Structure 1
């Protein structure tokens, strides 16, 4: 594409991590347990107890981010580090830790982008029903979010309410990844999903009502995958539209418009799903207008028409899933795949920018984008990750093309700044610009090393992406 626009001045180049995948120190300084602390994703993989040990290395890691030229850094706060039981008394050591992280970022001219909830429900709340028990979880979440606004809002000007609510919902429906392995019925799953919508709305409404003087912005960050039809058959096109609703638009519509997509409501009706929606819920959701939309992009989804009566099954919450009578996920033979089977589709990112912005006309922020690969250090203590450079180059070109088409993009925070524990594949699956020298079971010395992509991204940020063509 000719005549590409430059990236905006003040564009938020950076990267992301999450608390449970990077911090470690899961039982230190008063932190309570979360559902992720007791999760079991296979004995061959490490747990989250040490992870990347960001808790003890945050100054070193932020110094490396500064060296790369980061303008922003997206990270999540662990609810159980602030409220060990999810509610009740505040843990002052937890408040202090995140104050230290935020202050270190500010000292290095890196804007903190804070995610309030990134999968790690406090275990004490889960034992009371978690997201199934709105009478417990919503007041607790409201108090938790309010505490973050109060403690950090003078320095944090970008807030993300909930990370990948659609992944939580799809995964719980199929194998209970984020609920201690319990697989929920469709009614239970989508009721929890509704409570998550309410949590997002409660946090946004509180921030806008009580903290507007802080002059920050707030919005959610669902995962987004464009949905393609396998063939030109009209049935496959309808299947792609159905998949788009159940994978993406049901969530975006609730966030932005405060309403349920009618195709999703028809699905609920057909399956006999009856949601307990309180009298004022939809009014509260409609009031909660996000200032921007974050979204995580990794891959696209290709589907064909399905009229089968088979049970819903999942391939991978990123790659695709089936809903009988609506769509069936299939492989896209036009795209190459990552080592973990995810289709690499840079043009799908441009497609995503266009379809999201066309529907909602809100500024967009990439909150995750990346490629996970097994990696080892070379003898010269680096990693020649040319595949990652190629991946990012193509996706950033797609982003620049979208900006050239008039789409408002405010930042790019790929996954991840440093290597961390993948939820599925432990430390074997690495995403970072910075290599952390540890194995699944052997912590070694946890030394940090710059990958080849570190220097590439450093140069790219220095030029504000203008060298990307």
Structure 2
């Protein structure tokens, strides 16, 4: 899920065609995983088939005119075709999520046999092609039934239901899945869905939302997400880990954060933004409690961990999943007493500049990515990291020549390699996205895919873009990133592919 519209954005263009010295895949550690990613609601389609019931995203996406995931890429029926494309590209791993309502239609209780078989078949297909499955349990799409019954993530009841859902997944798929992410983008989910109301289930305090409280709900939800993650992690370690030998982590949306000026105010504001945006989840996971600055500013609106909860959350992630796209520039804000408190007014950021608001041009700040990995090493004891999403959004149009995306990917992989050489324990990289998807914020107008999907074609034909050809060459070791001629790739693509 790409949450670029979560900010008021201004134009700061930074172009980059390369970032590192020449490198190939052989410069990475031998066990490093390169893959690509999707999520259930954005890829599967088949929204009303074989026992699946609505998630909050079904409800939310049908409330506007941006499109929905009723059909999406039809991955539910075309998964074998897509896995074949992955294998041809040389992917070592594929990240996908499990639809809670496809597996357990009522949110709790009976397992849906057809949903269970779909995921078993998908995992088997991946394994048969030598592709490592990386499974996310919650990618923004929890059951509408639980939202209706008790308010979903604003109620602690969901911790028990989520843990039961996780238990089914571990039991049924864990012999073949060694990498589990419990919650996708925990920080952005809590902010976007419960402070701004721009993603499902759409809670906020403005007239655009029919329910919600922007001053309290994001913090309540963030707290419950951490407790649910810790509960699922504890279950996995006690019941499954010794036999299945897997790893479990939580992911967050990670921005490079840099002061807009060298003023003391902007430097302090940047550190505060790091505490709010990253430390909110990372401090409890690594040290057992929220950042002190956050506790001071939010006060009684910020939930408190009991001693037992603190111990359960601390150390509950074997790794941290990172979703990263851009670096932003931070200036300090002046408090506006008339504004109702919310996450962003609490954080106190006046302006965040983030590349280009449409993301249709080559906007690259790989130094911010490298700096973030260094920040993780210095501030959070250098945890194992999987980069679960990274990529460039462009207009979804009938062109396969996405050279800007190739340049972006080159620069960010190079920045990641620099961080690894400097000691970062980064272990995997997943491009978003494997193919063009239904984007949760932007619908079908913009896309990130390595493969173009013709959504006007009843067969939803997939066609490789230049970026797919580049990634294939990189993965098979034939591309030297700095010296590779993109124009040659373009000629090869034009000769072999057409829409």
Q: TM-score, normalised by structure 1?
A: 0.90
**Greater alpha carbon shift after TM alignment, 442-451 vs 342-351:** 342-351
> Cα 1:312–1:251, aligned 2, differ >3 Å: closer, same or farther?
farther
The count of aligned residue pairs is: 450
- The partner residue of 1:344 within 359, 364, 374 is 364
- The partner residue of 2:426 within 405, 409, 415 is 409
Deviation at 1:47, TM superposition (A): 0.9
Instruction: Work out the CA distance in 2 between the residues paired with 1:419 and 1:399.
Output: 24
- The partner residue of 1:453 within 436, 444, 467 is 467
> Cα 1:301–1:241, aligned 2, differ >3 Å: closer, same or farther?
same
User: Which runs of structure 2 are paired with 1:136-215 in the superposition (5 Å)?
Assistant: 137-183=158-204, 184-185=212-213, 186-212=215-241, 213-215=243-245
Note the aligned Cα RMSD (angstroms). 2.3
CA contact (8 A) 1:73 1:113 kept: yes
CA contact (8 A) 1:416 1:432 kept: yes
Q: TM-score, normalised by structure 2?
A: 0.85
Deviation at 1:18, TM superposition (A): 0.5
Instruction: Work out the CA distance in 1 between the residues paired with 2:269 and 2:306.
Output: 31
**Greater alpha carbon shift after TM alignment, 321-330 vs 200-209:** 321-330
Deviation at 1:340, TM superposition (A): 5.8
Structure 1, unaligned stretches of length 5 or more?
A: 315-320
Instruction: Work out the CA distance in 2 between the residues paired with 1:423 and 1:433.
Output: 18
Q: Is 2:353 the counterpart of 1:331?
A: yes
Deviation at 1:138, TM superposition (A): 1.2
> Cα 1:324–1:191, aligned 2, differ >3 Å: closer, same or farther?
closer
User: Which runs of structure 2 are paired with 1:44-55 in the superposition (5 Å)?
Assistant: 44-55=65-76
Q: Is 2:303 the counterpart of 1:275?
A: yes
User: Which runs of structure 2 are paired with 1:358-397 in the superposition (5 Å)?
Assistant: 358=378, 359-378=380-399, 383-397=400-414
Deviation at 1:42, TM superposition (A): 6.8
> Cα 1:444–1:87, aligned 2, differ >3 Å: closer, same or farther?
same
> Cα 1:219–1:468, aligned 2, differ >3 Å: closer, same or farther?
farther
Deviation at 1:262, TM superposition (A): 1.0
Deviation at 1:255, TM superposition (A): 2.0
Deviation at 1:338, TM superposition (A): 5.3
> Cα 1:103–1:263, aligned 2, differ >3 Å: closer, same or farther?
same
> Cα 1:300–1:337, aligned 2, differ >3 Å: closer, same or farther?
same
User: Which runs of structure 2 are paired with 1:119-138 in the superposition (5 Å)?
Assistant: 119-128=140-149, 129-135=151-157, 137-138=158-159
CA contact (8 A) 1:226 1:244 kept: no
- The partner residue of 2:49 within 28, 44, 54 is 28
Q: Is 2:473 the counterpart of 1:444?
A: no
> Cα 1:2–1:393, aligned 2, differ >3 Å: closer, same or farther?
closer
> Cα 1:341–1:456, aligned 2, differ >3 Å: closer, same or farther?
closer
Instruction: Work out the CA distance in 1 between the residues paired with 2:362 and 2:187.
Output: 18
Higher relative contact order (CA 8 A, sep 6+): 2
CA contact (8 A) 1:312 1:322 kept: no
Q: Is 2:245 the counterpart of 1:245?
A: no
Q: Is 2:311 the counterpart of 1:289?
A: no
